[in-house]
Chains A and B, each alone.
Chain A
Amino acid sequence: MTPETPIIQFNQVTKSYDASSNALNNISFSINKGELVFLAGHSGAGKSTILKLIAGIEVASTGSTIINGIDLAKISQNQRTFIRQHVGIVFQDHKILFDRNVFDNVRLGLDITGLYNKEETIERVTSALHAVGLEHKIKTHPQELSGGEQQRLCIARAVVHKPKILLADEPTANLDRENALKILELFKAFHKAGVTIIISAHDETLLSDYGKRILHLNNGQFRG
């Protein structure tokens, strides 16, 4: 696959949760391998829906969502789950597990793949925590972490298995500007390593400095 080959393709995708309105309305776009793309738009514009469709958490009502050459509508729910093992997801609400420490939270991302032994797991988790600057909090419980640290922990879990695609849903939403920029710098570093990254954000002032493609969404359709 050349760098210009689309790794994500949306063809006339519509997604509706109920009969009265569409979360996405007949949208088409493609994202190339290794690209960093921002999804911008107000709350309810459809940013999270696009990310959920890419991750296979949701399925398009009409149209096709092709990820790495696989049409997600044509595979089973369990197969879509396996697709997610090659995708890293950073959630807006972190989705951190408070019944385990930082190490075990990150380790979950590796455990689900079942590909790594104990030594590899320790090495990868330590490396991911080092990348987000949390290596000194390895035994700490998440409730002792700040909002920014919790977000970084979520990023570490998303990248620990070295995914081809990294999705981040409003990763800077609950952070101050300084912390938000630090998080975006982290994504920039992963992008340099060749990971395809899609970040959704409603604060476009943060995104404009990066000179990357921004897809503007408004009521389930692309603007401009």
Chain B
Amino acid sequence: MKLLTQHLRSFNNAWYNILTKPVEHFINIMALTVIIAICMVAIIIGNNLSHWQQKNILHPQITIYLERSANSKDIARIEKELHKFDHSLISNYKFISKEQALTELQEDKNLKEIASDTLEENANPLPDVFIVETATNNSQEIERINIQLGQLPKVDNSHVDLNYAQKISHLVKFSSIIVQAIQLICIVLVALVVYNIIRLQMLLKVDAISVSRLIGASDSFIMRPLIHYAVWQVTLATSIAALLVHFLDKYLNQLLSTMQPLFGNGIQILPLPWLQMLVIWLVLTIFTVFTVFIAVRWVFRNTYHI
């Protein structure tokens, strides 16, 4: 009860201090907001890259091009062969008929000209295709499946771009390392800003702190209001950063939706999940409390000798 009362008093003082001197705190909060927003953007980029990789190139795809003479019976036979593969090797497949491929070609703005030439010739040069999704990253296994599929009757050739998938995978891994480094830098920057805020606060209140120490104030009595002061500023900055990032995400998604026909596929930037936002706040709060502890110790050692 005693501790709760003291925290409640420190909470009230912190907000009173922030609200009665908004200009004084504006720069601090904005600096924290910018750093936290950069951290959130980095996490969003990381999340989206990983989502994109999982969705598109988690495992390499094998494209099977059928001979132009292949008929429905041949297609059924190939499907039967694909079913025979273990699920740990082939997870799924999709058949794209030559007619469907041509329709998609005609709908594509960039490839419309080629499609119209094809139509003029009144012949469809496209083959029937199977897109096979593998379920393994083992390049030897994939190569074996590729050869096996290429030897099936009425298959013109089968193609797998292992190199491309590996390159993308490495690129995504590298990007996630960069994202993690940015997160770490942001945490260090937040800690430095908080450290400076607390140091200045303590120097501003040098009289009150030294008198309090002389008449028996414990470290926690002095530290508690400073912890509240810093934690609520970080909380405020995190909330503003979350709102900014949310609106930025919304705006970019609107922009991307207008560009959708250019790419043919729906591209969307996934927002930062609330749970992840909560984790960011929690991590920053823990670091803030730790930083206040270090800052107070430092100022005590260098300014007060009681």
- Quick one: which of A77, A85, A99 contacts B216, CB cutoff 8 A? A85
Which of B2, B215, B219, B306 is the one whose CB lies under 8 Å from A108? B215
Q: CB distance A112 to B2 under 8 Å?
A: no
Q: Are A89 and B214 in contact (CB under 8 A)?
A: yes
A81 x B217 contact (CB < 8 A): yes
- A-B contacts counted at CB < 8 A amount to 55
- Contact check: which of A81, A87, A99 meets B208 at CB < 8 Å? A99
B215 touching A78, Cβ below 8 Å: no
Q: Which residue from B9, B211, B306 sits with its C-beta under 8 Å from A97?
A: B211
Q: A57-B306, A114-B2, A115-B2 are in contact. Are A84 and B216 (CB under 8 A)?
A: yes
Q: Which residues of A contact B212 (CB under 8 A)?
A: 108, 112
CB distance from B117 to the nearest CB of A (A): 84
The A-contacting residues of B in range 195-218, CB under 8 angstroms, are 207-208, 210-218
Q: Can you name the residue of chain B whose Cβ is closest to the Cβ of A84?
A: B216
Residues of B within 8 A of A97 (CB): 207-208, 211
Interface of B is mostly: helix
Cross-chain contact B2 with A89 (CB below 8 angstroms): no
Distance A74 CA – B47 CA, assembled complex (angstroms) = 55
Contact across chains for B208 and A82 when beta carbons are under 8 A apart: no
- Chain A residue nearest to B221 (CB atoms) is A112
Measured CB to CB, the closest approach of chain B to A82, in angstroms, equals: 7
> B6 near A: Cβ within 8 Å?
yes
Point out the residue from A57, A77, A82, A111 that lies within 8 Å of B214, measured CB to CB.
Answer: A57
- Write the chain B residue with the least CB distance to A112: B217
Contact in complex: A84, B215 (CB < 8 Å): yes
**Out of A85, A108, A117, which one reaches B211, CB within 8 Å?**
A108
Whether a CB of chain B sits under 8 angstroms from the CB of A109 is yes
> Could you tell me the distance between the alpha carbons of A99 and B5 in the complex, rounded to whole angstroms?
23
Q: Is the CB of B211 within 8 A of A81?
A: no
Q: Are B218 and A78 in contact (CB under 8 A)?
A: yes
B219 touches A114 (CB 8 A): no
Query: Chain A, 73-115, contact with B by CB distance < 8 Å: what is the 0/1 string?
Result: 0000110011111110101000101110000000011011111
Interface size on A, residues (CB 8 A): 27
Task: Say yes or no: is A157 at the interface (Cβ < 8 Å to chain B).
Answer: yes
Task: Return B86 CB to nearest CB of chain A, in Å.
Answer: 66
Which positions 3-42 of chain B face chain A at CB distance < 8 Å?
3, 5-6, 9
A87 contacts B218, C-beta separation under 8 Å: no
B19 CB → nearest A CB, Å: 18
**Contacting pair B213 A81 (CB below 8 A):** yes
* Residues A114 and B6 in contact in the complex (CB < 8 Å), given A57-B306, A78-B219: yes
Q: In the complex, what's the smallest C-beta–C-beta distance from B35 to chain A, in angstroms?
A: 31
Max chain A Cβ within 10 angstroms of own Cβ: one of B2, B211, B215: B215
Give min CB distance, A218 to chain B, whole Å.
Answer: 27
CB pair B218 A82 closer than 8 Å: yes
CB-defined contacts of A87 to chain B, threshold 8 Å:
216
> How far, in angstroms, from A59 to B274 measured CA to CA in the complex?
53
Central interface residue in A86, A91, A112, A158, by most chain B CB within 10 Å: A112
Inter-chain CA distance A158–B2, complex, in Å, is 22
Q: Do residues A112 and B216 form an inter-chain contact, with CB atoms below 8 A?
A: yes
Q: Smallest Cβ distance from B305 to chain A, in angstroms? A: 9
Contact B215–A112 (Cβ < 8 Å) = yes
CA distance A188 to B2 in the complex (A): 34
Nearest CB in chain B: distance from A93 CB, A: 11
- On chain B, the residues within 8 Å of A55 by CB distance are 214
Q: Which residue of B lies closest to A115 (CB)?
A: B2
Residues of A within 8 A of B216 (CB): 81-87, 112-113
Q: Could you say which residues of chain A place their CB within 8 Å of the CB of B210?
A: 95
Q: How far is the CA of A77 from the CA of B215 in the complex (A)?
A: 13
What are 11 contact pairs spanning A and B, CB under 8 A?
A: A81-B216, A85-B216, A86-B216, A87-B216, A89-B215, A91-B214, A111-B221, A112-B218, A114-B5, A114-B6, A157-B215
Across the A-B interface, give the 8 residue pairs with the lowest CB-CB distance, nearest first: A84-B216, A85-B216, A112-B217, A95-B211, A114-B6, A114-B2, A81-B218, A112-B216
Q: A81-B219, A117-B5 are in contact. List 10 more A-B contacts (CB 8 A).
A: A55-B214, A77-B306, A81-B217, A81-B306, A84-B216, A95-B214, A97-B207, A108-B211, A114-B3, A114-B5
Instruction: Give the B-binding residues of A (Cβ under 8 A).
Output: 55, 57, 77-78, 81-87, 89, 91, 95, 97-99, 108-109, 111-115, 117, 157-158
- Give the A-binding residues of B (Cβ under 8 A): 2-3, 5-6, 9, 207-208, 210-219, 221, 306
